[in-house]
Structure 1
Amino acid sequence: MNIHAWAASESPKIDGVLDDEIWSDPLHMSNLTASSNNTLYNGDPAKYISEGYFTQNSPHNNQASAFKTRVQIAYDDYAIYVAAQLYDPAPDSIRTNMGARDSGGNGADVFVASFDTYNTKQDAFEFVVSASGVQSDRKRGTSGWDGNWNEVWSSAVKINDEGWAVEMAIPYRALRMPNSKEQIWGLNFARGISRKGETSYWNPVDANKSGYVNQFGTLRGIYDVKPPLRLTLSPYISNVMIGKQGSSKVANTFSGGADLKLGLGQSFTLDVSLVPDFSQVQADNDVLNLSAFEVRFGEFRNFFTQGTNIFNKYGQFYSRRIGQSHHSVSDDHLEEHEEFAYKPTEAPLVNSIKLTGITEKGLGVGVLNSITNESFAIIEDTLSGDTREVKVDPVTNFNMISIEQSLPNNSRIGIMNTNVMRGAGYKNSNVTSGEFNLFDRTNTFRIRGFGGLSQEYHPYEDNGSAEDQKLTTLGHRIDAGGGKVSGKWRFWTSTNIETDTYNPNDLGFNGSNNAINTHADVSYNIFEPNAFYQRFWLKVGMKENWLYNPRTFISRRMWTDGWMQFNNLWSVYYDFSVQPGLSYDYFGPREDGYRFKQYSSNWGGLTINTDGRQKYSVSFRTSYWQRQKFNQFDTYYRYGQTFRASDKWDINHSISWNNKQNEKGYATTVKDENDEVENVIYGDRNVTTLENNFWTQYTFSPKMFVKFRLRHYWRQVAYSDFFNLTKEGDLTDSNYSDINEDGEKEHDANFNTFNMELSYSWEFLPGSFFTAMWRNQLGSSSHNSHYGFNENINEMWKEAQVNTVSVRLMYFLDYQQVKKGFSRN
């Protein structure tokens, strides 16, 4: 489908009332002999106004929408304007649930405008407005979905006698576009009608076909618009106070800084964070980790979540590495009568910059650089009380560059490089990789591939024995796959190979290397509803794992899962898996040359979700895992509920319970005086985990809300027997005792973490925010695994609480808006 924009003699008032001349009198506009930029109009209003029924994607794929929609587009030298009348025969039934910015519809009706400004059929900027006036924006394309991307733009909505209307004003600053006489863009509009569970598109998006932007229509008629100078500055001031229960001292920090965005040409944006402030980010969901693998935490710092999708591929970029303490200080630094008073977990972030964008020819570029300062541990003399510092982390430079070229048919190729420099005496690293992602002309079949080379440069003194002295360690990873990705029947097969020396973890995340994984699956997908369901899919597959070095079998697994959405918008998901015969765990023992023999097991689960449109909705999950050999049995339950007390007030709660009975897990390693392994100790343990999450939000207006979040995580670990692990993987009797000098079972654990957060946000001007947050944190860790719930709560509340209060004021300055204001005066 096609639609033309026309030039506006003056910009419309963005108020949700479509009474401006450019919307209400299109015949007058089209009868003009010429516009101010010499663009002739042909007198056909249908060329500039699209009115009719969008095409459903869900629930009735490729059928007409229930209601009509009218859309129009206009433009001037500053912005592109969108007007839409979304007809609805029952305006009182339009869902107007509110939420915070970027919450999507949150149960409300929505309208979406999507622009593929380079018309590559691969990448798009999306702008979403709900019927309550809440804005969301995001990028979508071959690099994935970037919901963290944010821009400043204007919109307004209004419920009227015919349904509801929406107006948008999207400055060219918020887009990237070619420098050409006429702008020819890919375009699509979407509409969500919540009470019908319907999503429909102006240009059809067929659920049976792979891809999204490649199914857009076309926007024409924008003439003689030059890409503007894109320059915004967001200076801020903040104050943070931290106090610990039982202490009269309060740490107070007042700071200021700025975020700068500068457009370089029509394609790229330079983001600079000067004196970054992350005092109001959400607290991590800490856990007691019993596995051999690192826990991956989410990223909540805006600078590292916005516009970084081009970096987030194949685990080569994990932004939490930036600001993390990468070295652990050992007891070798301690002299007699000394102990550590403080060990750093973070390295101070000095500044960060990133350059991102995509050219008219579909060349995407992302460059990121961050510098962290030195961190120091504090050592205290227990007799004199004197303290001294020991450097833990040096000044560190983190760099990443990602380049990808779009190809026809939604395909792409790309290269990436990450580099971490710490200077002499510390490990430096470099990872270089390439990838391709290719589709056939109909987007039915796809093949992809990835190859990466990691290089670690070690300081000479850290290289161990003479025969093992290597200043450089090389490793590689190869990942390839292909299959059918459209239609009812789909299949996929892939192989991933990682050497035992592949290590991207200085700036990436790789849970474990030294592996060969093969995967194959086939699925059956139905997107056309019948009298019972709306859509469903079923999938069966197999996965086999080997150790790369030595080339040894690890495990084999067969599985099936499926999902179905019913006509009442309830949904059900199931999964079931079998791991037959013997498998081997080479990572759990934590020592080279050891493995743990795992006997056959199976597991399965069921998830049920009720209709999320209702005032009260529920999500329930139950699953089990069992291994008959050791009488191991795990059960898991999760219950989540959402109550919409009003259009402005959402209340959410989830509780989960996990009980692992007779689990065989690593306890410790016993070494002799020469630091040689005598025994790897495994234990028979019961592990129970309770997690409670509660969060609620009251939205005063689309620009103001208050949010409260509470999380309690409790894990108990109780050991009953201990075993020696043989190198062949068997468990034998052991005389190991875990009773410490205080008479406690030192491997038993009773671990709690408790967080409360209350935050307030007010967007007092477009892009300008006043925010405040109070955070309360406490935790406890002991060996009292026999405690019940009340005893555990009493123990936890005896610990000192840490309270943090932060206030932040940020003001948004847009060069084009300021220039426009001066020109009017």
Structure 2
Amino acid sequence: MNLHAWATSDAPKIDGILDDGVWMDPINVTNLTASVSDRLLNGDDPSKYIYEGFFTQNWPNNNEKSNQKTKVQVAYDDYAIYVSAQLYDTAPDSIRTNMGARDSGGNGADVFVVSFDTYNKQQDCFEFVVSASGVQSDRMRGTSGWDGNWNEVWSSAVKVNEEGWAVEMAIPYRALRMPDAKEQVWGINFGRVIQRKGETSYWNNIDANKSGYVNQFGSLRGLYDIKPPLRLSLSPYISNVAVGKQGSNKIANTFSGGADLKLGLGQSFTLDVSLVPDFSQVQADNEVLNLSAYEVQYGEFRDFFTQGTTIFNKWGQFYSRRIGQNHIAPSDDLLEEHEEYKFKPTDAPLINSIKLTGRTEKGLGIGILNSITNESFGIIEDTLTGERRDVKADPLTNFNIISIEQNLANNSKIGFMNSNVYRGQGYKNSNVTSGDFSLYDRTNTYRIRGFGGLSQEFKPLLDNTAEDEELKVLGYRYDIGGGKVSGKWRYWASTNVESDKYNPNDMGFNGSNNAINIRTNASYNIYQAKGIYQRYWARVGYDENWLYNPRSFMSRRVWADGDMLFKNFWSVYMNVATTPQVSYDYFGPREEGYRFKQLPSQDGGITINSDGRKKYSMSFRTSFWQRPEFDQFDEFYRYGQTYRMTDKFELNHTISWNNQKNEKGYVTTIKDSNDEVEDVIYGNRGVTTLENNFWTQYTFTNKMFLKLRLRHYWRQVNYTDFFDLTKDGDLLSSNYSDINDEGEKEHDTNYNTFNMEVSYSWEFLPGSFFTALWRNQLGSSSHNSHYTFNNNMNEMWKEAQVNTLSLRVMYFLDYQQVKKGFSRM
């Protein structure tokens, strides 16, 4: 489908009332006597400029006509592109107008979406969303992924009227990237969500049976003489952070200031610079007691590292939490007699970060990110004299990553990436280089994709007489896969190989290496309603895992799952799986040459979701896992609920309980005086985990909200027996005792962490915010694994609480807006 935009010299007033001249009579069809920009207006067809009709559903009834009509128009001038939409509704009183924070999407409200593929490459787009309550969201999406953290400053307004509701949007060109050409043709699509119907529909049909999103857009024509503007904005800030600990009269107070700078380089690229970064108001991590052999991966909440970084987020090569994380914490080997650590840093201070991202009109995407962290130090104290000394925990460190990606025809692409961490001579440095591709056929029915990476670790010596050995380690990984990705029947197969030396973890995230993984699955997908269901899919798969070095079998698994959406908008997801033979865990023992023999097991579960259109909705999940020969049985339950009390106020709660009976897990390693392994100790343990999450939000206006978040995590670990693990993987009776000098079972654990956050946000001017955060944190860990819930809460609340209050003001300055304001004076 095609739609033509219209040049206007009289920009519409963005108020949600579609009475502006450009919308009422966009091309002056009653008086066509002139020409504009060498385009003859006489006899032009006004239907090219106005679409009015029914969109096509993508959800729930794929390819069917929308329940309501929609009218859309697009205009433009030298500053911005303007969009108007009349979203007709035969029941205006039923339009959902739930409020929410910026970037919350619909949050239960009706929604209008406009998407621009400005280079018309059918792969990536800028997407702007407005809800019927006026809440804005923006994102980038396409083959590079979904970047909901991408934010721009633009204008919009909505109005509920007798015919439904109307929306007006003004999107300045600095929020987009576009070619510099006399005439431009963009890919475009409009979307609409009618919440009470559970319906998502599009102007140009997005067929769920086909692979891809942007490749199913229509075209926007009639764009002439648009000049990409100078894109320059500055967001200076000031903040004050006060931290106090219960029982202490001291309050640590920090006042700081800085700025975020955005500068457009040419028509395609944006330079982001964070000067004196401030991350005092990021969400607290959901910390857990980790009993596994694998690192816990936490989410990223720092804006600089979440916005515009999808080009880096491929194949685990970029884990932004590494930047600012303590990497080389001082070891106990530095302690002398009668010494102990008084302080060990967990973070390395971030000095600055620079990011360059963008994509040319030829489809070449480039991303460069560089960050520098400062030195960090630990403090050692002599317990006899009280004398203290500093030891370096981390040197000055430079983190750098470069990603290049070229779009190809048919939604395909090829890419290259390099990440480098440099700490200088005498420290470990690393480099990871990789390439990847994703190729589709002309109909986007079949796809093959591949990845190959080489990791290097090296340590330049301080001088020729240095005692440390020079470190040079090379590792590699490759992954190849392909299959059918469109249609009712779909299938996929892939192989992933990681050498025992592959290590991207200085800047990336890889849970474990030294493995060969084989994955295959087939699915059947129905997106048309019939009988009691709206749509469903079912899938079966087979996985097999081998140790890379030495080449040894680890496990194989057969599984199936499926999901069905019913006519009443309830849905059910089910899964079952079995490991039908003996498996071997080479990672759990934590020692080379050991493995743990795991007998056959089965697992399964079911998730039930109620109708999310209702004021009250819930989600229930129950699952089990068992290994009969060990009498192991894990049961898991989770209940989540949302209650939208009013358009402005909602309550959310999730509670989960997990009970692991007779789990066999690693306890400790006993070594001799030569640091050689004598015994690897495993234990029979019961593990119970309770997690409560509660959050609520009151939205005063679409520019102001107050949010409360609570989280309590409680895990108990209780050991009953201990075993010596043989190298063949068997468990033998052990004389190991876990009773410490105080008579406690030192491996039994009663662990708690509690966070409470209250945050306030007010967008007092477009892109300018006043924000406040109060955070209360406490935690406890003891060997009292027999505690009841009441005992546990009493113990936890005895711990010292840490309170943090952060206030921040950020002001947005846009060069084009300032220039436009001065020109009117």
TM-score > 0.5, shorter chain as reference: yes
Q: CA deviation at 1:329?
A: 1.1
Instruction: Work out the CA distance in 2 between the residues paired with 1:33 and 1:570.
Output: 58
Code of the aligned partner of 1:214: N
Instruction: Work out the CA distance in 2 between the residues paired with 1:27 and 1:816.
Output: 27
Q: In the alignment, does 2:532 pair up with 1:532?
A: yes
Q: In the alignment, does 2:357 pair up with 1:356?
A: yes
Q: CA deviation at 1:815?
A: 0.1
What does 1:14-413 align with in structure 2 at a 5 Å threshold? 14-26=14-26, 28=28, 31-34=31-34, 37-41=37-41, 42-413=43-414
What does 1:744-763 align with in structure 2 at a 5 Å threshold? 744-763=744-763
**1:738 aligns to what SS in structure 2?**
coil
Q: CA deviation at 1:63?
A: 1.3
- Partner of residue 588, structure 2: 588
- Partner of residue 792, structure 1: 792
Deviates more, 1:52-61 or 1:604-613: 52-61
Give a deviation string over 1:3-53, Cα, whole Å, max 9, x none. 111111111100000000000123526744446544433431101001111
Q: In the alignment, does 2:421 pair up with 1:420?
A: yes
Residues 365, 401 of structure 1: 8 Å contact kept: yes
> 4+ residue stretches of structure 1 with deviation over 6 A?
none
Instruction: Work out the CA distance in 2 between the residues paired with 1:37 and 1:263.
Output: 28
What does 1:584-623 align with in structure 2 at a 5 Å threshold? 584-623=584-623
Q: CA deviation at 1:239?
A: 0.1
Residues 30, 44 of structure 1: 8 Å contact kept: no
Flag structure 1 segments of 5+ consecutive residues without an equivalent: none
Give a deviation string over 1:65-105, Cα, whole Å, max 9, x none. 11110000000000000000000011000000111001101
Code of the aligned partner of 1:369: N
**2:619 aligns to what SS in structure 1?**
strand
Q: In the alignment, does 2:542 pair up with 1:542?
A: yes
**2:228 aligns to what SS in structure 1?**
coil
| Change beyond 3 A, Cα 1:624–1:699 | same
Instruction: Work out the CA distance in 1 between the residues paired with 2:33 and 2:354.
Output: 49
**1:408 aligns to what SS in structure 2?**
coil
Give a deviation string over 1:607-645, Cα, whole Å, max 9, x none. 000011101000000000000111000000000000001
Q: CA deviation at 1:183?
A: 1.4
Q: CA deviation at 1:674?
A: 1.1
Instruction: Work out the CA distance in 1 between the residues paired with 2:788 and 2:114.
Output: 54
- Partner of residue 644, structure 2: 644
Residues 84, 169 of structure 2: 8 Å contact kept: yes
Instruction: Work out the CA distance in 2 between the residues paired with 1:813 and 1:695.
Output: 33
Instruction: Work out the CA distance in 2 between the residues paired with 1:559 and 1:732.
Output: 32
Instruction: Work out the CA distance in 2 between the residues paired with 1:423 and 1:383.
Output: 36
Q: In the alignment, does 2:451 pair up with 1:454?
A: no
**2:10 aligns to what SS in structure 1?**
coil
Code of the aligned partner of 2:336: E
Residues 237, 257 of structure 2: 8 Å contact kept: yes
Count of paired positions: 823
Instruction: Work out the CA distance in 2 between the residues paired with 1:20 and 1:402.
Output: 45
Q: In the alignment, does 2:649 pair up with 1:653?
A: no
Residues 261, 272 of structure 1: 8 Å contact kept: yes
Q: CA deviation at 1:459?
A: 4.8
Residues 30, 45 of structure 1: 8 Å contact kept: no
Q: CA deviation at 1:783?
A: 0.4
Instruction: Work out the CA distance in 2 between the residues paired with 1:725 and 1:328.
Output: 30
- Partner of residue 567, structure 1: 567
The sequence identity of aligned pairs, in percent, is 76
Q: CA deviation at 1:460?
A: 5.1
**1:713 aligns to what SS in structure 2?**
strand
Q: CA deviation at 1:385?
A: 2.3
| Change beyond 3 A, Cα 1:709–1:35 | farther
Deviates more, 1:43-52 or 1:743-752: 43-52
**1:195 aligns to what SS in structure 2?**
helix
Instruction: Work out the CA distance in 2 between the residues paired with 1:660 and 1:30.
Output: 76
- Partner of residue 442, structure 1: 443
Code of the aligned partner of 2:14: I
Give a deviation string over 1:758-804, Cα, whole Å, max 9, x none. 00000000000000000000000000000000000000000000000
Q: CA deviation at 1:461?
A: 9.1
Q: In the alignment, does 2:11 pair up with 1:8?
A: no
Instruction: Work out the CA distance in 2 between the residues paired with 1:560 and 1:462.
Output: 58
Residues 487, 525 of structure 1: 8 Å contact kept: yes
Give a deviation string over 1:129-182, Cα, whole Å, max 9, x none. 000000000001111111111000000000000000000000000000000001
Code of the aligned partner of 2:819: K
Instruction: Work out the CA distance in 1 between the residues paired with 2:807 and 2:187.
Output: 42
TM-score in terms of structure 1 length: 0.99
Give a deviation string over 1:567-595, Cα, whole Å, max 9, x none. 11111100100001110000000000000
Code of the aligned partner of 1:318: Y
Q: In the alignment, does 2:729 pair up with 1:766?
A: no
Code of the aligned partner of 1:498: E
Q: CA deviation at 1:335?
A: 2.2
**1:26 aligns to what SS in structure 2?**
coil
Residues 22, 29 of structure 1: 8 Å contact kept: no
Q: CA deviation at 1:381?
A: 2.0
Flag structure 2 segments of 5+ consecutive residues without an equivalent: none
Instruction: Work out the CA distance in 2 between the residues paired with 1:430 and 1:269.
Output: 25
Residues 584, 598 of structure 2: 8 Å contact kept: yes
